A and B are shown apart, each in its own frame.
Chain A
Amino acid sequence: MARRAARNLEVGLHVNIVVCMKETPSTTAEKRFGPDMRLERRKEDAIINPFDEYGIEEGLRLQEKHAGSTVTILCMGPATATETLRKALAMGGDRAVLVSDPALAGSDAIGTARVLAAALQKIGFDIALFSNAAADAYGGVVPGATAAILDMPLLSYATKLDIDGASATIERQADVGFNTVQANLPALVSVTKAINEPRYPSMKGIMASKKKPLDTFSLADLGISPEQVGAAGSREQVVSAEKVSTQRKGEIYVGNEGAAERVVAFLVENKVL
C-alpha cells in the first residue's frame, strides 16, 4: 500500500508528490503509422506531453509551498524516454522513474493504467498528479482508470489545488460551471491548463537534471504479467488510417435569402452545432 509521509503541521508538511508524465511525439513532427498500424515514434521527435508540464509545475509549486516535500516524475515509455525525463527534471523535482519493458509496446489506456498504478504503489505517494489528457490522442482515460485500479479518489480537471495535512481540495472544471471537491490523502489529481503557467527550465536546472537519480523498473519489478499489457492486453486495434483532405471546400452561396439557414446547415454538417 502507498506509504504516506509523516505529517505534522508544526514541523511542516512533507508531501510525497509523484507526477505522471507521458512522452509524446512533438506536435510538429511528421507522424505516420507503421506497417503494424502503430504510431512510428522517433526518439528525436519525443517531447514531454505539453499538458504534463502543468502537472509538473503544480508538483513543483506544492513542493515550494511545503518545504521538505519530494517530487518524483514517473513515466512509462521506451528506454529512450530517459532523455525526456531529464528534460522534465530540468524544470525541477528530485528524481525520476521510468517503467520500460519490450512487452509494454502497444499498451492501451487500461494497460497503461495498470502499470502506472503498480509503479505508484511501489514508489509510494501522498499526491499523484496527471494532466487531464495527453496531447497525442486526447484520451483522458488513464487518470480515472489508474484511480479505479488503486481504489482511490481522483480529483479531476483541477483548475486550483490546495493541500493540508490530511486532504486535498481542488476547484474543478465541471461540464457546466465549477465544483469544489475534496479527498483524503493519498489521492490522485488531474490538472487542466487553467491551473498554472509552467516554468521554463533554467540553465542551472538543466545542469542539475543530469545528476538527479533516475531509476528504471521492468514489468517483473512491478509484478505484472506481460499478457495484461502491451499489444497483447490491448482491447482496441487500428484497422486503417487515411489522410484527411485539407482542400477548402469553396462552396459559394449567392444572396441574402436563405444564407443564414445555409450557414447553420453547414455548421451542423460539420458537427459544430
Chain B
Amino acid sequence: MSNDVWALAELNSGRLATISLQLASKAAELAGAFGGQSAAVALGPGARAAAADLGACGVGTVFASEGDVYSQYLAQPYAEALAALIQQHQPKLVLYGGTNFGRDVAARVAAKLGLGIEYNVNEVSVQGDQVMMTVPAFGGAQAVQMRFVGSGTQLLGARQNAFPTVRAGGSASVQEVPAPAAPANGAKITGTFGTEGAAEAGHLGQAPDGHDIWMPAAARAKLEEAQVIVSGGRGLGGPEGFRQIEDLAAALGASVGASRAAVDAGWIPYTHQVGQTGKTVKPTVYIACGISGAVQHKAGMGTSGLIIAINKDKEAPIFGFCDLGIVGDLNVVVPQLTAAVKQRKGE
C-alpha cells in the first residue's frame, strides 16, 4: 500500500461542491505528512474542468472521468470507478464528504472491497503512520477519538466545513479514466427538479453531530428543526426591522425567530415566537438581535448549540448566557454581517 491520500470530489450539475475543495486541501496536507502523493477523484460531467480548482487546493493529480453514465445512475458507476482506482493505486486514505452523494458512494466501495470506513469526522491528526479522527457522539456531548485497524485503504468521511479550504496555489495533472458501463441493475435517474437549493427543498442542513436535519413532510420550514435561527426582538423597532433579519437569515440559510414582544407588537406572526409560550428550538446557532434575554425567552432557546447576541445594552441579560455577545447597534451590525456572510460564501 502507498502513503497516498485522495479526496473524492463531488460535482452537482457540473459544479464542484465546496466540500470538495476542503477535502482536496486536507488530502494535500495529509499526503505531505505521510510522505505520499495527493490526488482527487472527480467523476461526472465537469470533472476535467474541476481539476484547476482541485489543483489550486494542492492535490498533485486529478483522476477525471466524464461520461453520460454518471448523470444517468445513482452511486453505482461512481462506486465502480472509485473502487477500480483504489485497487489499482492502493492509496492509504480516501477522504469523502458526509453528503448524500459521498455516503452512498463510499458505503458501496467499502462494502465491495471490505475497507475500513468512518463518518462524521470533525478533526484529524497524524500520529506516526496513523490518522486519528475526532468524531462527535451523543448529540455532540462527547468527542470520540477513533482510528482504523487492519490493512488496506481507509475511507474517511468528513463533516461539512470540518476542514478549511486552503488555496495554496498549484496545478494538478489530469489523468483520464474511462467511465464504466451502465450498471446491469441500476438506480436510474429519470429527472431532476428543485435545484434552486436544498434549504427550500427539505434538507435543512446538518446538526453539530453531523446528522441531517429534514423538514418533516407535514410542516415544512418548522422552526424546531432549523439548524440556524436568526431571531429578532423589540430592539428591531418595528415590522420593517424584520427585513434585515430575513436578509441575514437568507444569507445563512436560516429560519427566522422572534421574541414575544415582537410578536405581541404584531411585527411577525406567532408561529415564529420562541420561548416558554412559543416554540422550543435547538439549532446549531441562534443569533438573537435586539432581544434582552428574558427567562421566558431563554426557556425556548437556552439549549441551542451556540448563541450569538447583538444588543446595544451591555447590561442585557442575554450577555450572561451567550457564546459571543456583540455590544452594538443592530441597525449597523446586522446589514454588515449579511454582506460579510455573502462575501464569505462567494455570493
Contacts and interface: CB of A to CB of B under 8 A. Distances in A.
Interface in B184-214: 185-198, 201-203, 209-212, 214
Contacts of B74: 153-156, 172, 179, 181
Contacts of B344: 264, 268, 273
Contacts of A187: 187
Interface of B, helix, strand, loop or mixed by DSSP:
mixed
A180 B189 contact: yes
Contact of A194 (B210, B216, B285): B216
Given A236-B116, A254-B314, A183 B339 contact: no
Interface in A227-273: 234-244, 246, 248-256, 259-264, 266-268, 270-273
Interface stretch (A66-74, A82-90, A143-151): A143-151
A235 B333 CA distance: 49
Contacts of A242: 142-143
Interface string B300-333: 0000001110100010000101111111110011
Interface stretch (A6-14, A95-103, A118-126, A129-137): A129-137
Nearest to A270: B306
Interface string A172-212: 11111111111110010000111111000000000000000
A169 B145 contact: no
B69 interface: no
Nearest to A31: B138
B323 A248 contact: yes
B119 to A, nearest CB: 5
Contact of A156 (B104, B119, B132, B141): B104
A36 to B, nearest CB: 14
B137 interface: yes
Q: How large is the interface on A (under 10, 10 to 19, 20 to 34, 35 or more residues)?
A: 35 or more
Given A153-B74, A173-B201, A176-B13, A144 B326 contact: no
Interface of A, helix, strand, loop or mixed by DSSP:
mixed
A248 B10 CA distance: 36
Nearest to A29: B138
Contact of A145 (B107, B144, B197, B310): B107
Contact of B120 (A113, A138, A149): A138
A3 B273 CA distance: 53
Contact of A256 (B98, B319, B329): B329
A154 B138 contact: no
Contacts of B154: 235
B79 interface: yes
A159 interface: yes
Interface in A13-47: 27, 31, 33
B228 interface: yes
Contact of B107 (A143, A181, A234, A237): A143
Contact of B332 (A256, A266, A268, A273): A256
B187 A154 contact: yes
Contact of B333 (A141, A236, A259): A259
B132 A148 contact: no
Contacts of A177: 192-198, 201
A104 interface: no
Contacts of A273: 161, 341, 344-345
B319 A252 contact: yes
Contacts of A135: 211
Contact of B327 (A139, A179, A197, A254): A254
Contact of A253 (B108, B117, B216, B327): B327
A140 interface: yes
Interface in B136-189: 136-150, 154, 159-162, 164, 183, 185-189
A43 B297 CA distance: 37
A197 B216 contact: yes
B115 interface: yes
A76 interface: no
Given A173-B198, A178-B193, A236-B116, A263 B324 contact: yes
A179 B191 CA distance: 5
A10 B118 CA distance: 47
Interface of A: 27, 31, 33, 108-110, 113-114, 132-133, 135, 137-149, 151-157, 159, 169, 172-184, 187, 192-197, 234-244, 246, 248-256, 259-264, 266-268, 270-273
8 contacts: A148-B109, A176-B197, A182-B187, A239-B147, A264-B340, A267-B341, A271-B160, A272-B285
Given A182-B188, A244-B143, A251-B323, 17 more contacts: A109-B117, A113-B107, A139-B119, A140-B119, A145-B107, A148-B111, A159-B202, A177-B193, A177-B194, A179-B74, A179-B192, A182-B190, A237-B146, A241-B144, A243-B141, A244-B140, A253-B326
Nearest 10 pairs of A and B residues by beta carbon: A144-B107, A235-B116, A177-B195, A145-B111, A260-B336, A138-B211, A153-B187, A148-B108, A148-B111, A193-B214
